[in-house]
Structure 1
């Protein structure tokens, strides 16, 4: 049974011991999955719990507030994917000023020893932790000898000779290289969320959309895209989507809007996942709504062609019976 914990303090989560890995795990890409798989393997060998330690917000988000970090996935998505990797417990620590100021030695004693009873600790080659990032693999090994746990560096996971990194995947997505990014992620890039009410303008223009707010999350992409929408029907549905601030209609808040082709149903409150297949163009401001609709017509036609020529992903992660749609917005 998978368990999620948020607090660093409290009773020991693994009285019989654990094998632990630590990381930001943004996107839970193929390198992350290889590490999580090793932890599961070692935990089975030692007959102890497999535990992942991560942070929300991601430390880079916390320290770079003026330049928000584009996220590959939401906190919810990260939790779901770590659970899928067979991990028993996830300690998703609240990264705040207090945790940032915690000395590395205290982190080891309080988290790895007292909270997790670690037998083995696995980290990436560039892992740093504690106040001013003073903790590293050498400190882990030194303290491990004193407290009875092993510290190991997981061999870098590479494809075609290149290490799989979240930063590289963000760059690929920003460049519209969705197929290559999907190979590194191990799955297509998606943005999920609950469908919310829009301004109803899209319906009036003939393009009703299912809208997802990004909240505090910063997306690595923006523009107009050919997409597939999961969580509506048994199979993913083809669509054209806009992700941005909608300059033509004076939008401010970033919004993901997806117009599902040949579909009429009510999606308000439904959780959906939008899979990005190809970028069609950048977001732009039009002089009139008529000019914008003409461009949306062209975008929709292009999206249909792109999706017809590409192979859909494996079975969608959520499927329910089709229903009526009344969500609306506007592609801009």
Structure 2
């Protein structure tokens, strides 16, 4: 996949079909757009492209908290896995922000990306003061010679699937609903770091991660989880929070106990999926009480993973 950060110095060598947006979470609505992009690209032997921003315009303008469902790196990796050939990650500069819709089409879509087709949702907005919309794009396509596909929103019952909807469910710890809306489990990625090695002393050796500061996290607590590391997949339980029984600070981290794993994994990159919320974070009176609760959590996890839906091979 081509990954472009400096749009001013880029010009596509062959035609492209492109979709545009924030793509935070790469949820089912985004995947509907991407499926159409891939279909058109394969039929015409064009590149399948995505145009997005390094930082959401809503965040940059102070209209929303700077917490994302995915880090830019996570978004990049997932788009690559979904078959995107070209990813343009553009800073939301004053130059971009002040472009009239017609100028954006000519300078960005046609000149830089060589767009022969554009795929957009019904609520798509672009250009200065968001004056460009799907209808504007359709008319521009007719006059400038590129194809436009406008896709209806993906629905969950009577509600549109959106990043906002997913954030609401994530804040409640409804991980199964989040997975349904996203099209895959909610996850964090990052290197395995050294902790206090308390898990080893309790008989439950764990891996530790520090989530990216811009990453939106579900409520603090214990989750049934699935971890990808070193080319293998492990079932387990994750404790997300500040470890109040043994810590006095408020630095948030993720600690995961991997079932059937005794390997030294420090320094490796791990992806941890939060499959289901088990219980809230709790401060115990003693380490023995914490150890007893961990044993109960593991028993519950064994029952949870007995479902074929969450088997290691799924």
TM interval, shorter chain, is 0.7 to 0.9
The two structures have a TM-score, normalised by structure 1, of: 0.82
Provide closer, same or farther for how the CA distance between residues 99 and 203 of structure 1 changes in structure 2, counting only shifts above 3 A: farther
2:23 to 25, 34, 57: 25
Provide closer, same or farther for how the CA distance between residues 214 and 62 of structure 1 changes in structure 2, counting only shifts above 3 A: farther
Question: After superposition, what is the alpha-carbon deviation per residue over 1:31-67, rounded to whole angstroms, capped at 9, x for unaligned?
Answer: 2222111112222333432211122223333334873
The two structures have a TM-score, normalised by structure 2, of: 0.86
- Report the secondary structure of 1:42's partner residue: helix
Match of 2:195 in 1: 198
Query: Is the CA contact 1:9–1:110 (under 8 Å) kept in the aligned structure 2?
Result: no
Match of 1:78 in 2: 75
Match of 2:56 in 1: 58
Alignment of 1:33-182 (within 5 A): 33-64=31-62, 67-71=65-69, 73-96=70-93, 99-160=96-157, 162-182=159-179
RMSD, aligned α-carbons: 2.7
Match of 1:328 in 2: none
Cα distance in structure 2, aligned partners of 1:41 and 1:134: 29
Provide closer, same or farther for how the CA distance between residues 111 and 257 of structure 1 changes in structure 2, counting only shifts above 3 A: same
Query: Is the CA contact 1:8–1:110 (under 8 Å) kept in the aligned structure 2?
Result: no
Provide closer, same or farther for how the CA distance between residues 127 and 156 of structure 1 changes in structure 2, counting only shifts above 3 A: same
Cα distance in structure 2, aligned partners of 1:125 and 1:67: 25
Q: Which runs of 5+ in 1 are unaligned?
A: 317-332
Query: Is the CA contact 1:198–1:211 (under 8 Å) kept in the aligned structure 2?
Result: yes
Confirm whether residue 9 of structure 1 aligns to residue 20 of structure 2: no
- Report the secondary structure of 2:74's partner residue: helix
Would you say how many aligned residue pairs link Structure 1 and Structure 2? 312
- Report the secondary structure of 1:281's partner residue: strand
1:311 to 301, 309, 312: 309
Confirm whether residue 184 of structure 1 aligns to residue 178 of structure 2: no
Match of 2:268 in 1: 270
Alignment of 1:294-305 (within 5 A): 294-305=292-303
C-alpha displacement at 1:278, in angstroms?
1.4
Cα distance in structure 2, aligned partners of 1:50 and 1:237: 33
- Report the secondary structure of 2:66's partner residue: coil
Match of 1:250 in 2: 248
Cα distance in structure 1, aligned partners of 2:282 and 2:68: 21
Between Structure 1 and Structure 2, which shows a larger proportion of strand residues?
2
Question: After superposition, what is the alpha-carbon deviation per residue over 1:264-307, rounded to whole angstroms, capped at 9, x for unaligned?
Answer: 22111212221222111122334544444443333333223322
Q: Which runs of 5+ in 2 are unaligned?
A: none
1:207 to 183, 204, 209: 204
Question: After superposition, what is the alpha-carbon deviation per residue over 1:236-269, rounded to whole angstroms, capped at 9, x for unaligned?
Answer: 3221111123334023332111011342221112
Cα distance in structure 1, aligned partners of 2:184 and 2:48: 23
Cα distance in structure 2, aligned partners of 1:29 and 1:146: 32
Cα distance in structure 1, aligned partners of 2:95 and 2:191: 32
Question: After superposition, what is the alpha-carbon deviation per residue over 1:8-47, rounded to whole angstroms, capped at 9, x for unaligned?
Answer: 2124114x42211112122222222221111122223334
Cα distance in structure 2, aligned partners of 1:184 and 1:201: 36
